[in-house]
Structure 1
Amino acid sequence: MKKIYLFLIVLLCNTGAFAQIVITSQPVSTEVCNGQSLAFYLTATGENLQYQWFHNGEFIPAANSDTYVIPGVSLADSGDYTCTIFNNTEPSVTSIAATLIVSESAIIVDINPNVNACYGDPVTLGVIATEPN
């Protein structure tokens, strides 16, 4: 008598108990002057989301929300910023890179203040600026 074995293979699938992580708004590249403040932000859907920002692929300590603020940028802050979003149940998702370009501020060396105008009138001022050293 032959014995026949029947194996039941059960595939466990995502039943929808946890929503897949989806980035709905990506961070945007920007250019600012040295010393200005800026914020990168993104939005995502999913359950129990956690965030981690990176600068040029390097972990940024304490940058763990959907918004990353730099209160006063410096030239060293130039580069690409990404954010990885994760939770305990779904694969992580990483944003597209947002590039930050930090420009040196121009130095104003002369301004023509000799303008007469009434309140509310448009005024054109002459300014002379140079590049920083």
Structure 2
Amino acid sequence: MILTPRTFLYGIKRLPILLVLFFVSFNVFAQVNISPASNGSGLCAGTFYTLDPIKIAETSPGDFSAGNYNLYLFLPANFEFDLTATGLTSFLGTDISTVSDSYFNNQVYVLNVNVTGTLAGDDEITITGLKVKSLSGGASGNLSFIDFGSFVTGLNGLSGALLLSAYHPEITTQPVSQTWCEGSDVTFSVNAGLTSNPTYQWRKDGTDIPLASSSTYTITGITTGDGAVYDVIVNGLCNLPVTSVGASLTVTTSPVIATQPAVSQTICEGSPASLV
């Protein structure tokens, strides 16, 4: 099978900040055991992050066929390798005499294996130093191993670690300014869009409001002292907070009678009257 290089755009200095999660899984296909790469924790991308080691291990002699052949590691869509990162390979056992690696493109890693025999004991290949980043929020997929010649028992088509990308903090609907009379109940709200695991902190004139940590903030029975500028800081798994626009609350005072009318009066019909 001939692999056709894919075309990718370069020169982007700052990609959207995304979170990449790498989950450990362990698969057994036929005889070969695969320990796929994992990061073990959630990492926010936009830069590359190093995968944990990938191990391909025999469980019995002969799982690796004798000969020289290539094994391929494919990334799912919307993920790419760092082509400047040097992958390191090591091996255990006496049958594997040489191992080298290279990148076919930024989604395909190629491992060249030279196996001299199949009877000297169990062999194991370990790949370290690979770096991956996500290109878009909501992307997911598995690392996959391709062994076109089926040289390694059970390796071809095996799915490796699951890669997931989360959305960075964003605000899609801003809080709006409001004017209310004293004694009214007022609610400010914000929409964090696709933010993964959003958190909220409302502020009054730049100072955090205790316990104001939801997408809405309500003030009951407002007074003139509540007149201020309110905003909210939205954060998420990426830990790159964004701040909303400021929304003003204008509180109008209720009508007040400063002077009551004069005491009751009795006057004749047609006479002028004045109430002050």
Residue 67 of structure 1, CA deviation: 0.3
The separation in 1 between residues aligned to 2:241 and 2:211, in whole angstroms, is: 18
Aligned twin of 2:245: 96
Aligned twin of 1:121: none
For the pair 1:23 / 2:171, whether they are aligned, the reply is: yes
Runs of 4+ in 1 over 2 A off after TM superposition: 8-16, 107-110
Among 213, 229, 235, the alignment partner of 1:64 is: 213
Residue 62 of structure 1, CA deviation: 0.6
- The one of the two structures with greater contact order (alpha-carbon pairs below 8 A, sep at least 6) is 1
**Runs of 5+ unmatched residues, structure 2:** 1-83, 86-129, 138-164, 262-276
Backbone CA RMSD of aligned residues: 2.2
The separation in 1 between residues aligned to 2:131 and 2:250, in whole angstroms, is: 49
8 Å contact from structure 2 (residues 169, 238) kept in 1: no
Residue 22 of structure 1, CA deviation: 1.9
For the pair 1:35 / 2:146, whether they are aligned, the reply is: no
1:73-110 deviations in whole A, cap 9, x for unaligned? 11111110000010132411110000001110124789
8 Å contact from structure 2 (residues 189, 217) kept in 1: yes
**Runs of 5+ unmatched residues, structure 1:** 1-7, 111-133
Cα pair distance change 1:54/1:12, threshold 3 Å: farther
Aligned twin of 1:73: 222
Cα pair distance change 1:92/1:34, threshold 3 Å: same
For the pair 1:55 / 2:55, whether they are aligned, the reply is: no
The separation in 2 between residues aligned to 1:29 and 1:66, in whole angstroms, is: 16
Number of equivalences: 104
The separation in 2 between residues aligned to 1:21 and 1:12, in whole angstroms, is: 21
Among 96, 99, 106, the alignment partner of 2:255 is: 106
Q: Secondary structure at the residue paired with 1:43?
A: coil
Instruction: With the length of structure 2 as denominator, give the TM-score of the two structures.
Output: 0.35
Q: Secondary structure at the residue paired with 1:76?
A: helix
The separation in 2 between residues aligned to 1:11 and 1:83, in whole angstroms, is: 35
Instruction: With the length of structure 1 as denominator, give the TM-score of the two structures.
Output: 0.69
